[in-house]
Chains A and B, each alone.
Chain A
Amino acid sequence: AQSVTQLDSQVPVFEEAPVELRCNYSSSVSVYLFWYVQYPNQGLQLLLKYLSGSTLVESINGFEAEFNKSQTSFHLRKPSVHISDTAEYFCAVSDIKAAGNKLTFGGGTRVLVKP
């Protein structure tokens, strides 16, 4: 079984400031890692994922996350946020060896970007 902990439920941040969203996971098996974003009144969209290879993964809109196996973490960062980044962000894992892709989510971090 897996569990995901997002340490901050809310993160207020000023526009153009950096932001870091913390994600730690616990699992008895190897996992894939994902970050999804949910904009107000919308479904979830994949931001980025780590499957293998380089532990630093990037998204097209400036976010990046680093997989740290020893600390079982997958923190998400952006060096300079925009108002449009206001959303809820979810970290998730899936069992590498499982058939299908049942995602186990963290509780979410609500990011509020202030002008």
Chain B
Amino acid sequence: EAGVTQSPTHLIKTRGQQATLRCSPISGHTSVYWYQQALGLGLQFLLWYDEGEERNRGNFPPRFSGRQFPNYSSELNVNALELEDSALYLCASSAGTSGSGETQYFGPGTRLLVL
């Protein structure tokens, strides 16, 4: 069974540009989570999508947004990039059936570098 996949693996942008990151969950999983792993800031929850809807977001500005498609894949968009957006962005999926004790399965991440 294929795991969570993310693309691209690396992304280089300049300040002010927009970045689009993609995630495909494990087959059958309906929930997708996005986390930011920035140097010195650790892993922080960004967004949660389930059944096509945004269910929760972390303490990030509105220029971080995304969506979930009918096939449950997801896209994270970061507008007006700032230098501090440079980070590893991790996507995780879960079955979405068992509440907050459910295991999340993580992808390998997209490393975004903003110059």
Contacts and interface: CB of A to CB of B under 8 A. Distances in A.
Contacts of B100: 32, 94-102
A55 to B, nearest CB: 15
A56 interface: no
B85 to A, nearest CB: 19
A101 B99 contact: yes
Given A49-B101, A51-B101, A96-B100, A101 B108 contact: no
Given A99-B99, A105-B43, A46 B104 contact: yes
B72 interface: no
A101 B106 CA distance: 13
Given A43-B90, A43-B109, A103 B104 contact: yes
A107 B42 contact: yes
Contacts of B45: 102-104
A18 to B, nearest CB: 26
Contacts of B66: none
A42 interface: yes
Contacts of A90: 43
Interface stretch (B11-19, B48-56, B76-84): B48-56
B101 A100 contact: no
B106 A108 contact: no
B94 A101 contact: yes
A92 B101 CA distance: 11
A101 B100 CA distance: 4
Given A44-B90, A49-B101, A100 B50 contact: yes
Contact of A99 (B55, B94, B107): B55
B87 interface: no
Nearest to B50: A100
Contact of A101 (B33, B90, B107): B33
B101 A43 contact: no
B103 interface: yes
A59 interface: no
B6 to A, nearest CB: 8
Given A49-B101, A105-B43, A106-B42, A44 B106 contact: yes
